[in-house]
Structure 1
Amino acid sequence: MDYRALPSGAYTLSNVHVPACLLGQDGDLVLTELSIDAQGALSEPQPIAIDMEGALVLPCFTDMHTHLDKGHIWPRSPNPDGTFMGALTTVGADRVASWSAEDVRARMEFSLRCAYAHGTRAIRTHLDSIPPQDGISFPVFSELQADWAGRIDLQAVCLIGCDHFSSDGPFKATSDIVARTKGGVLGMVTYPVPDLDDRLRGFFALAAERGLAADFHVDETMDPSSETLRSIATIAAEVGFDAPITVGHCCSLSTQEEARALDTLDLVAKQGINVVSLPLCNLYLQDRHASRTPRGRGITLVHEMVARGIPVAFASDNTRDPFYAYGDMDMVEVMREATRIGHLDHGRDDWVRAFTATPAEICGFDASSFDRGAPADLVITKARSWNEFFARPQSDRIVLRGGEPIDRTLPDYAELDALMETPT
């Protein structure tokens, strides 16, 4: 239950804390007031004022790297050993056996309901796109994109491994499907293959011909010899690709020799590439070996990236599937865990942007903000400081959309029971 009831209509939230960086100011938190007019927009002060006793208020979140099509298959297809290869093979088998339009839609809808209840207003999702799955999942996505308009803005990225790519093969038809999808983004997983540079040239050519941005899964491994991030930056510069490029994971940077890793980041910064870090999934999968305690965290070099002006976002990635057994599409959870895993609690006052404004800017979503005239899309917590915020899950938070408190009741897992028969 939310910790406080709020009225409908126009009112002022007085005595609230908001991050200074989201007001264009220096420092940590600012004690201020936020006013909401009768149309649900942030406004000048209103006659009715409610003392919020120092509550910490954030704009609603943007979750820019998810896998809605994989979500919630764990009960029928658990990862047998918790490894990356265990995830890859298990998801592949589940996809072939079970991913009908009805199955994909039900699970994606369930995840969207969770995300909405937790306070997310925009999502980019990757969709497995090895044919014929691209012809199943993208139409479902477009239906959901229309159904959820006004609640959650949605973008879709196709997803294939680079070993499945060829300029004149099935991926050309997939790229046409992406181009016909509102806000579609061309995506691929990169790993070391002998002709990766040529495949990247072909990929960028297809994207450029269709006016599409690019979003890659990159170096999702602790093997320091995996340097496909360097290849992406180098080939993008060579071909003059000028649409936005996003890379996710980049785990191998954490195990490479320092000078080499930082030199790669200099190339990334020069090319203007965006990075999204997925610490929960990486912590779950990377450096996992039977009967051995993991030594590495798998998180990429986020501090070194922001020091170079590289835009960095954090996102939830997988939810209750073989790549990550847990999660609930909750960006507050992502913030809490990323802060612990990545040591975001010292050195900068603006990390909150990596969960709100920065991912929205990278994706081209309308960013939720505190500007007058903006929709009052807010997450209000009982916490009065960052320490209180990170110490508890804020499960009693209030979520406002257009100034109105929403029903934050989460869907019951039992709703998916009919889909959870184990594939044979």
Structure 2
Amino acid sequence: MVAQFKALTTEISKGRRPVLLSGGKIVQTGGASAVADILISADGRIANIGTKLDTGADTLRVDVSGMLISPSFIDMHQHLDKTLTLPFTPNPSGTLQGAREAFAVYARTAEPGDIYRRARRTMQRCLSRGTTAIRSHINIDKDARFQGIEALAKLRDEWSGTMTLQLVSFMLAHPKQDFDWLDANIDAAVALGDVVGGTPAVSEAPDVYIDKLFAAAARAGKPVDLHLDEHLNTAALHFDAALDSVERYGMQGRTVFSHVSVLSALPRAEFEKIMQRMIDLKVGAVTLPAANLYLQGRDKDVLPPRGLTRVAELKRGGVTIAAASDNIQDPFVPTGTGDALEIARWTLLAGHLHADELADAHHMITAAPATLMGLQDDHGLKPGAWADLVVTDCDATDTLVAGGADHIMVFAQGRLVSETSVALAEHDPAA
């Protein structure tokens, strides 16, 4: 099988001719699979799914019998302006504030070319592991200015035929923040991005700050993605102000709260009240297990908390929740490979999901983020969507999430962009 794919790699990678993937196991809702063919049109979209499909003479037929075909992965919360900065942004405290201070020092002298190169490297690694869409929050403040988002905007345009890159104009709040600077720059910053973001918990006037973010998003007609209450202090909650703004500015279905770590520290009744309001206002959530496991709870002497939000309860309660990488090899998270399946596993383990919820973890890196990013029409295994696919030698969704694949092919807009095989070790008992 591997030899067949290697022989076809060059031919498929040329793209722009119909391709029939025949006999694969198609991932369905809930993690089940069914054997079917996928016909990919010359423009890179899924033309049809079924059996005994009619194809033209120029169609390239690829036998994927026995292989699992999944929608590609979506990493809807990264910080590509920070990625791979660990060697020169030390964070000895290991805390969130320590990471912010470490990156702020670098941001004052960051070269756009350096930001571009590091971000491109991480995007390459993510794509090779099956991710075809990323949402990246990009610092904009007096330190970073506009350099990060301008560098990432260039990458967004260059990669548009392969990967979807959404940029969040991440308008940072600082203690003693100059709101005059924010007012003077926010509309220009929002114009460069696709989404509006910020972090209310570190603002000295969080309600004012939240209102400014939503007002700017409403003026520009863009969605909102907030770093909301990435802490465990139950005395400092900003959900009501944020949810009030969702309602006031008509941002239902266009707002995401990322992290929301403090929900895990609230009494259940208070959490459920907030969760119900999120459901009513169609507000999604994103959990970032790597960052919150690493940064949170370091001040506790006994049984430090996991730092994640109530992942299982939010998912089972009806909130659309995704899982994402957050930071990769920087002062916020010193590890990371760009592998969304790794994040799905961390989410299942640290979020206290059950072993029979592996398919839900898969949903949190595919369909859930597609919905929250507004990509649902272009993503997934259905006619009309982009042929963004991950084809592996796994036998089911559960095994894909649980242990990964030894052979993986990644299709982006109908083109084979990566193929990876692990040569399994052989053992000769007589040796």
Match 2:223 to one of 208, 213, 217: 213
CA deviation profile, 1:335-355 (whole Å, cap 9, x unmatched): 222222221533585443321
The aligned counterpart of 1:95 is 107
The aligned counterpart of 2:337 is 328
The aligned counterpart of 2:180 is 169
Q: Which amino acid aligns with 1:67?
A: H
Helix, strand or coil at the partner of 2:207: helix
Helix, strand or coil at the partner of 1:407: strand
Q: Name the CA shift for 1:348/1:338 in 2 (closer, same or farther; >3 Å).
A: closer
How many Å separate the matches in 1 of 2:94 and 2:252? 38
Counterparts of residues 290-301 of structure 1 (less than 5 Å):
294-301=303-310
Shift of 1:166: 7.3
The aligned counterpart of 1:419 is none
Tell me if 1:57 matches 2:56. no
How many Å separate the matches in 2 of 1:356 and 1:331? 9
Q: Name the CA shift for 1:259/1:153 in 2 (closer, same or farther; >3 Å).
A: same
Q: Which amino acid aligns with 1:282?
A: N
Counterparts of residues 108-119 of structure 1 (less than 5 Å):
108-119=119-130
Q: Name the CA shift for 1:201/1:12 in 2 (closer, same or farther; >3 Å).
A: closer
The aligned counterpart of 2:312 is 303
Contact 2:173 2:202 in 1 (8 A): no
How many Å separate the matches in 1 of 2:202 and 2:117? 35
Q: Name the CA shift for 1:147/1:2 in 2 (closer, same or farther; >3 Å).
A: farther
Q: Name the CA shift for 1:378/1:165 in 2 (closer, same or farther; >3 Å).
A: farther
Q: Name the CA shift for 1:4/1:332 in 2 (closer, same or farther; >3 Å).
A: farther
Helix, strand or coil at the partner of 2:75: strand
The aligned counterpart of 1:282 is 292
Shift of 1:395: 5.6
Which is worse superposed, 73-82 or 293-302?
A: 293-302
Give unpaired runs (5+ residues) of structure 1: 22-26, 410-424
How many Å separate the matches in 1 of 2:419 and 2:73? 15
Shift of 1:330: 1.7
Structure 1 vs Structure 2: percent identity of aligned residues?
Answer: 26
The aligned counterpart of 2:426 is none
Shift of 1:270: 1.9
Helix, strand or coil at the partner of 2:356: coil
Tell me if 1:128 matches 2:129. no
Q: Name the CA shift for 1:52/1:82 in 2 (closer, same or farther; >3 Å).
A: same
Tell me if 1:272 matches 2:282. yes
Shift of 1:189: 0.3
How many Å separate the matches in 2 of 1:215 and 1:255? 22
Shift of 1:91: 1.3
Contact 1:192 1:228 in 2 (8 A): no
Q: Which amino acid aligns with 1:115?
A: C
Using structure 1 for the length normalisation, give the TM-score. 0.85
Match 1:156 to one of 164, 167, 172: 167
Tell me if 1:196 matches 2:206. yes
Shift of 1:208: 1.9
Q: Which amino acid aligns with 1:314?
A: A
The aligned counterpart of 2:423 is none
CA deviation profile, 1:209-255 (whole Å, cap 9, x unmatched): 22232111011112222311233113433555557111100111111
How many Å separate the matches in 2 of 1:226 and 1:17? 48
Question: Over the residues paired in the alignment, what is the CA RMSD in angstroms?
Answer: 2.9
Match 2:94 to one of 82, 91, 96: 82
How many Å separate the matches in 2 of 1:322 and 1:201? 29
Counterparts of residues 356-367 of structure 1 (less than 5 Å):
356-365=366-375, 367=378
Which is worse superposed, 257-266 or 36-45?
A: 36-45
Helix, strand or coil at the partner of 1:191: helix
Counterparts of residues 181-192 of structure 1 (less than 5 Å):
181=192, 184-191=194-201
The aligned counterpart of 1:5 is 5
Q: Name the CA shift for 1:168/1:341 in 2 (closer, same or farther; >3 Å).
A: closer
How many Å separate the matches in 1 of 2:342 and 2:357? 21
The aligned counterpart of 2:28 is 20
